[in-house]
Amino acid sequence: MALTFSKSADFAIDKAAGEPCPNLDDAFRCSIHSKLRPEGFQGCTVYDCFGAGQEISRRAGQSWREQPGQQMFEALPILRQLHELLWYLAEALEYKALDAELRTAIERVEAVSRTADLTTVDVMAERATVNELLLKTSRLVRGKQPKKKERRGADLIGARLKKADLQNANLRGAYLIGADLRDADLRQADLIGADLRDTDLRGADLTGALFLTQSQVNAARGDQTTKLPEALTRPPHWSAIGA
């Protein structure tokens, strides 16, 4: 209801923000959830609100059908970003590198996320502060790497990286759309914000990859030989790829 999308390879139709999706049923569920990709809604399968939608609904106590939903719609993208930061901070805490600083940051972001009017929150400032901690964590976990493995923000669209040694590499924000990473070594690689749409990860080893999200994995292509971090699950559509 709150989100907008345009007809494209990811969505079969145009939908404006505040307009109910035609696939939404009376029980607030997706009527085509089990066949989103075949129906042309691949974009829905890679979106993750990090629990922000559920939290906003809980706070409101009523649905947008029972009250004007504009306030909820405006709050959603803000709370989503705050919840995303908390997700990254929680992962960083597992590496036991900057415990005190990370716990302080978690407490601060949690407090900010409880702000009554979320539209007053300076999300960019929160992201900047958290990003510094995530960068420090990444450097401590990955260690010093050769220049060839520092590929932050690199344009690797369609790159041929089959069997590439990218262990502990910095791929933050890298554009890996359609790249061939079959059988590549991505262990402990920092993949925060990397664009993995249609990236071929068949046979790739992403064990311990840093800050990799389920939505990134869902956007990529893989198979039963792809090794993922324990916290992530193998997307159902992977079984049909290359079959």
pLDDT band at 243; cut points 50, 70, 90: very low
Q: What is the pLDDT of residues 54-65, one digit of tens each?
A: 898 888 877 777
pLDDT band at 66; cut points 50, 70, 90: confident
Mean pLDDT score across all residues of the chain? 93
pLDDT band at 213; cut points 50, 70, 90: very high
Poorest-confidence range of 93-97, 99-103, 220-224, 237-241?
A: 237-241
Tell me what pLDDT residue 240 has.
59
Tell me what pLDDT residue 68 has.
66
- Could you give the CA distance from residue 238 to residue 104 in angstroms, rounded to a whole number? 39
Strand partners of residue 227: 205
pTM: 0.88
Tokens of residue 154, six digits: 């690199």
**Is the pLDDT assigned to residue 11 strictly greater than 90?**
yes
Q: What is the pLDDT of residues 95-136, one digit of tens each?
A: 998 999 999 999 999 999 999 999 999 999 999 999 999 999
* Helix, coil or strand: residue 235: coil
- Tell me how crowded residue 6 is: count the other CB atoms within 10 A of its CB: 11
* Helix, coil or strand: residue 204: coil
- Burial of residue 96, with CB atoms counted within 10 A of its CB: 0-12 exposed, 13-18 middle, 19 or more buried: exposed
- Could you give the CA distance from residue 201 to residue 238 in angstroms, rounded to a whole number? 10
Structural domains for the chain: 46-142 (no CATH), 146-243 (2.160.20.80)
